[in-house]
Amino acid sequence: MSTISAATLRPAAFRRPSLAAAIWAAAWRDLKIFIRYPSWFIAMLIWPSLFPLGYVFTSRALAGPSGEGMATYLAYAGTSDYMSYILTGTVLWMWLNTMLWNFGTTLRTEQQRGTLEANWLAPVPKWFVLAGSLLSDVAQWTYFLVVGGIEFYFLYGFRVHGSPLLLALVLVASLPSVYGLGFIFASLVLRAKEIQ
């Protein structure tokens, strides 16, 4: 005969809420919304290939007809691989930009949907909405980096010359500061009630 614990007999209304379950629910909701509109997948296939083109063409034009400006670039950057320099900078800029616009406007979006107040009543810490959005955003950006890396490899000849493990470590180490800025921006946007 199995024994039944007191927690099992306790009604669901009196059980201690799980913060992890609340964060996962918020993340899963955001991912379902993202998947529901497949045009975002198409956009995230096109953006990595097209976005750096303006910077690539500008750098080639500034190098001069015979590439005489490359010596100056080499002196300042320490590398003659300007393509990898541009692609890396473009991806980091795009990450920061979309993080501020997507993750930074999470609370305001919740407010416009009419779900912020209901979420605020949940018996868990209020930051679970942002933590769930953070997980969803990281999943979307992982997809973007994989797709972008493949496109950069074939379209631009991008190669990682250093340690890929060290690169991944730097990206993971930068997550707290980048998304900390997003937390601050999200609270300011909610307070101002305006995004622009």
Q: What is the mean pLDDT of residues 98-116?
A: 82
Q: How many CA atoms lie within 13 A of 103 on its CB side?
A: 29
Asked if the model's pLDDT at residue 45 lies above 80, the reply is: yes
Q: What is the mean pLDDT of residues 128-138?
A: 87
Indicate if the alpha-carbon torsion angle 170, 175, 178, 180 is positive or negative: negative
CA–CA dist 111, 187 (Å, integer): 12
Locate the DSSP E strands across the chain.
none
Q: 3-class SS at 15?
A: coil
Residue 29 phi, psi (nearest 5)? -60, -45
The alpha carbons of the chain give a radius of gyration, in whole angstroms, of: 22
Mean pLDDT, rounded, of the chain: 82
Asked if the model's pLDDT at residue 9 lies above 60, the reply is: no
Are the CB atoms for 151 and 48 separated by under 8 Å? yes
Residue 26 phi, psi (nearest 5)? -65, -40
State the pLDDT confidence band at 15, using cuts at 50, 70 and 90.
low
Percent of the chain surpassing pLDDT 90: 2
Q: What is the mean pLDDT of residues 116-124?
A: 81
Are the CB atoms for 99 and 183 separated by under 8 Å? no
pLDDT computed for residue 28 by the predictor:
92
Among the ranges given (14-18, 81-85, 101-105, 172-176), the one the predictor scored with the smallest mean pLDDT:
14-18
193 DSSP 8-state letter: T
pTM for the full model?
Answer: 0.72
Are the CB atoms for 116 and 186 separated by under 8 Å? no
pLDDT computed for residue 6 by the predictor:
53
Structure tokens at 69: 């400006």
Asked if the model's pLDDT at residue 16 lies above 70, the reply is: no
CA–CA dist 177, 164 (Å, integer): 21
| Amino acid at position 51, single letter | F
Distance of CA 169 to the CA centre of its chain: 16
CA–CA dist 114, 127 (Å, integer): 17
pLDDT computed for residue 120 by the predictor:
79
